[in-house]
Every structure is written in C-alpha cells, then in structure tokens.
Amino acid sequence: MENKKVLLGMSGGVDSSVSALLLKNKGYEVIGTTLELFAGSSCCDVNTYIDAKNICNQIGVPHFIYNCKELFKNHVIDDFIDCYSNCKTPNPCIECNKYMKFGFMWEKAKELGCNYIATGHYAKTEYSKKYNRWVLKKSNAGKKDQSYVLWNIPKELLEHIIFPLAEFESKERIREIAKENNLKVANKPDSEDICFVPDGNYKKFLENNSDIKPKEGNIVTSNGKILGKHTGLYNYTIGQRKGLGISYSVPLFVIGFNKEKNEVIVGEENELYKKEILVGDVNLLLVDEIKKPIEVEVKTRYSSNVAKAKIINQDKNIKVIFEKPQRAITPGQSAVFYIEDIVLGGGKIIS
C-alpha cells in the first residue's frame, strides 16, 4: 500500500494553508511544519506559528515547529552577506529552498515516516515518459509561477515533492477556496520582501549584521573617468540609474564594479547588454550532463521574461549564448534553463 504521508511546510499564509486542505481532501496523511529561521523575520514571527497551528487544528492535522536558526544563518544569511561583500546580488529564496525546505525538511520527513514533502509553491512535478524521469515544470499560474526559485532542488527528490497548487491559474482562486472553507488566513497579504529583511531595507540589515559599512569611493566610466562619489558598493546594483548623484550628457547606469579599487562603474544603456554569460554552481535536473550545445530558453531574474539561448558545457560551468543580447545581467542572480515548460536546470551568474 502506498505511503501517502506528507510533511507540508507551512508559513501561516494562504498558499500553504490551502495546500494542507487540498492534500487532506486527496487522502494524504498531512503533517504541518513551520521552520524557525530568523528572529524578527516576516516568516518567523509569533503570528506565523499561531496561524499555521490554528489552520492545522481547524482541518485536523498535527503541526510541529523546528528551530533552524543556526542552519539558516550558515546557509542563507552568510551567503547573502558574502554576495554583497563581493559585488553580487543574491536571491536568498534559492538558498533557503535548497537547504531548508528541500534539505532540512526532507530529513525531518524521513524521520517522521513521510514519503513526500510539500510546499505552497506554484510549480509542478511529474513523471515524464519522454525523458524517462521525474521533472520540475512551470505551474499553470503564469507570472505567479515559482519554478525559477526551485532549480536548486536535488533531482533525486523530485519524485517525493508535491506542489498542491500546481494546476491553479490564479491566487484569487486560492483565496476563494480559503474563504469557502472558513480559513482565517484567506485575506492575509502576500509577503513580498526578503523574509529576514521585513522592512525592505537590506542595506541597513547588512550594516547591522556584518562587517559591511559605508565606504566612499569613485563612480567612474568604463574608461576610468571619475564622475562622482559613491557611498559603498553594496548600495548599488547592475542596471541602476536613479540615486547615483552624478550628471552627464546622457543617462548613465551601473554596469559593474571594481572591488579592488572600490569603484562603481557606469555606462550608457547599450553597455548594459550582454550576448554571453558564464554560469556556475550548476544543478541539472533534466539531464545528467551537457555533452553538446542545447537550445533552451533562459530566465535571468524572477521577474524577467525568458530569452532564447544556447547552453554549452564549460568545465564545471555553463556558457550561455543568447540569441539577442540581454539587459542588466547581474552576477549572483540565477540563470534558469527551460525546454518548453520543463526546468532543465540552472546556476548562478558569474559574469
């Protein structure tokens, strides 16, 4: 008899709450869990635990809280700080998914005798006869799809992951289901910011939690002409135009950094475009290795559209050659490769 026991990550929000309900209605033996990640974060305040526990009580499933603060600091906070220390722009959700939701939580699931873990992400897992393996796919939710932040899941885990919201096309429908079932979180607002920077001020977070402090330096053009002063490299990101405090005959954008010289490099908009990028920390889900160039679509930011490209194996890295040059490619962000709606894999942009 199939083991239909599932450990569900619960944030106290509407997505994971409705996920619990849907799983229970499909006959799964659901256990809810909330991970304590960072004191004062939006996903770890007292209301989070209360909301998640109340939902579990309401639909009649157990709920556990696990303290993961040290693990979270080691894998997510420290990486966040390290990226900004090295002029990269991180996406901490990707580290959290790898180490917390699909790392720690899977270990707990096995301890509890669960065959599955589940989250309220808008994504899809299924067995593909064409590729003869389990695959990660885009959900039906269009712009709400979250497959981009899930490329780092270990591929051997895919057959053990359930995304109960995979088939839904809108968040509105999820809220309707919550209302129809009298779930008190039906109108709870979405959390948009980085969970451990609930006020959105990541610069203040870095200054309070690391050795990163304001350090003035020059703003220069790509040929070295000094145009003004900056307040610290971590205060700027590729593609930024506003807040530079410089005047020039044409609009200028941040196009890069020189960490050794403590310089912010600016240029005209055409200098923001790249035809080729290098991607490291690669995780392949659809294939075991890239033996020859593969035509794919690539997404380089969560909010960006996909772009046609060719990917080529380059030692442990992947070279991406775009059909058309792409704007404001940012080291530290993820490049995720798709074949139609299937995630082939992804990695972190090096340059």
Across the strands, what pairs with 69? none
Token pair, residue 98, equals 């790898």
Q: Which of 56, 93, 114, 195 is catalytic?
A: 195
Q: Measuring CA to CA, which residue among 199, 213, 343, 330 is closest to residue 273?
A: 330
* Non-local CB neighbours of 223 within 8 Å, separated by 6+ positions: none
Question: What does DSSP assign to residue 233?
Answer: G
- 195 annotated active-site: yes
- Taken as a whole, the chain contains a residue count of 351
Q: Which of 43, 93, 96, 114 is catalytic?
A: 96
The pair phi, psi for residue 36, each rounded to 5°, is -80, 115
CA torsion angle 35 40 41 46 (round to 10): 50
The pair phi, psi for residue 68, each rounded to 5°, is -120, 20
**Which amino acid belongs to residue 246?**
I
Greatest C-alpha distance within the chain: 72
Task: Tell me, rounded to whole angstroms, the distance of Cα 216 from its chain centroid.
Answer: 31
Q: Which helix (H) or strand (E) holds 237?
A: none
How far are the Cα atoms of 107, 164, 231, 245 from residue 15, in angstroms, in the given order? 23, 9, 40, 42
CA distance 304 to 269: 18
Query: CB of 14 within 8 A of CB of 188?
Result: yes
Query: CB of 278 within 8 A of CB of 351?
Result: yes
Token pair, residue 317, equals 């890295």
- 44 annotated active-site: no
List % helix, strand, coil for the chain (3-state, nearest 5): 30, 30, 40
CA distance 52 to 310: 44
**Which amino acid belongs to residue 202?**
Y
Residue matched to tokens 């053009």 = 221
Catalytic sites, residue numbers: 96, 195
